[in-house]
Amino acid sequence: MSTPRTYEVRTYGCQMNVHDSERLTGLLEGAGYAAAPAGEQADVVVFNTCAVRENADNKLYGNLGHLAPVKAARPGMQIAVGGCLAQKDRTTITERAPWVDVVFGTHNIGSLPVLLERARVQEEAQVEILESLDVFPSTLPTKRESAYAAWVSVSVGCNNTCTFCIVPALRGKEKDRRPGDILAEVRALVAEGVTEVTLLGQNVNAYGVEFGDRQAFSKLLRACGDIEGLERVRFTSPHPAEFTDDVIEAMAETPNVMPSLHMPLQSGSDRVLRAMRRSYRSSKFLGIIDRVRAAIPHAAITTDIIVGFPGETEEDFLETLRVVRESRFASAFTFQYSKRPGTPAAVLDDQVPPEVVKDRYGRLVDLVNEIAWEENKQVVGRTVELMVAEGEGRKDAETLRLSGRAPDNRLVHFAAPGPEHGAAVRPGDMVTVEVTYAAPHHLVADRVLAVRRTRSGDAWEARTAAPAAPSGVSLGMPAVGVPAPLPAAPACG
């Protein structure tokens, strides 16, 4: 038998891209490719790109440039570029980097193996960009990066027209999966050992718009509560304009829906929100937070904020600081506005000078960190159950610490359990700890009260005990799988 060709997938951007890379990995392995061992050059390198991040194109072409001499010295090597930047730039990619073999878009990731083979046989680049979704991506084979947690797409695309965001133009209008298909996927994952799922959509709480059910998302949350063995349900990212009370009620009344909410604010100024075409105002945003906290007192709420949007005045910025103070976010992903070609905001007059943006950004970060630290201090002394996360332990003052996520998604570094708790804990297992220390971005627990070994831990152990099977996925963001930090890129919502 011939040795299979090897692959590596490099991923940049949001959770949707991460999940798409799991599909790309599954497609490649289904076509007979094998993950490249760590440290070895792959025969096929796939870039799954993002168009949201600043200088995304420069990063891509820089990486392609580094691979050009590698490919020249390695006959038969192939390079493929997909994702949002590929959907946007199209033939520009092969014009600027003629050594690229395949360019594919966000709507046809399932074509990758065929395009690679066609490029190899015809010895010329293949560029295939579809304008709309042909097959819902969740029907494609998927190689999950985590044995205990999984992304589950409920929809793709977005019907909003935010002036700073190019994602709807690249992902298309919202397409919803049928509830039965989603729940069947969740049940299958639970049967494989998964105990935590994150429901994923560009605007997740608008789910149901395509088939005319405005309460479809809250019904979906409640249905997940009926799945035996599913311990944790999360979702990201909702849009404040579509955030309804039935969703809050479902969160509060469904035990396995976690008390955490990531809801993008973007700006606290009503004038700027209007210019952004965000169809809500600060009072509505704060009202949602008040109702969530009334129903779920210990909920941790996180957000995205953009500083320096065109036309933002000092008064506008002070309004953002006011909303941040009133919202008491557990954390916030903050971004300095930068032009995104192809978005309406890129051509707006009154762009804010970079030095002003930088100053406001620093002031915002200081406030966000101050509040996050104060909120974390409120958790000290509480007993919480953590899902153990994957990753090596670390020494802290001679104490070996592991990491896990609390129900509210806060990161907790905890002392490794001693022999009195039995066998060592594994990723996916549950530990009950007492929080003893708070920092702005994490908590520390010096005391482990109990350990609960789980089916997820069994699944992780079975996977790691199997013959070497490198993931083949290299991420330009935090490691795949929940529990994990939210990505350092704004969610669409």
> Higher-confidence residue: 385 or 237?
385
CA atoms 28, 194, 390, 407: torsion sign: positive
pLDDT digits (tens, 9 = 90+) for 285-344: 999 999 999 999 999 999 999 999 999 999 999 999 999 999 999 999 999 998 887 889
Rounded Cα–Cα distance for residues 144 and 19 (Å): 8
224 has binding-site annotation: no
User: Per residue in 222-234, is it b (16+ CB within 10 Å) or e — as a string?
Assistant: bbbeebeebbbbb
CATH 3.40.50.300, domain 262-378, yes or no: no
Structure-block tokens of residue 195 = 């105990």
Quote the tokens at residue 47. Answer: 């870039």
Give the pLDDT of residue 492: 54
- Report the 10 Å Cβ neighbour count for 76: 9
Q: What is the pTM of this model?
A: 0.84
User: In 10 A of CB 328, how many CB atoms?
Assistant: 15
Cβ atoms of 125 and 150 closer than 8 Å:
no
Q: What is the pLDDT of residue 392?
A: 65
Helices (H), 277-434: 282-295, 314-327, 354-377
The answer to whether residues 388 and 402 touch, using CB atoms and an 8 Å cutoff, is: yes
Higher pLDDT, 75 or 422: 75
Domain boundary assignment for the chain: 6-134+470-475, 262-378, 383-453
Is-contact 478 21, C-beta < 8 A?
Answer: no
The whole-number pLDDT of residue 400 equals 83
Burial class (CB in 10 A: 0-12, 13-18, 19+), 416: middle
482, 485, 450, 439 alpha-carbon torsion, rounded to 10°: 180
Strands (E), 165-292: 175-176, 196-200, 232-236, 260-262
Is 492 part of any known ligand binding site?
no
Q: Which residue has the higher pLDDT, 177 or 131?
A: 177
Write the pLDDT tens digit of every residue in 81-125.
998 889 988 899 999 999 999 999 888 888 999 999 999 999 999
Specify the fold of 383-453. Answer: OB fold (Dihydrolipoamide Acetyltransferase, E2P) (2.40.50)
Closest CA to 329 of 284, 358, 289: 289
pLDDT of residue 342: 80
Residue 386 contacts residue 477 (beta carbons within 8 Å)? no
pLDDT tens digits for 453-463? 999 999 999 98
Q: For the residues 146-153, what does the mean pLDDT come to?
A: 92
Question: Looking at domain 6-134+470-475, does it have CATH number 3.40.50.12160?
Answer: yes
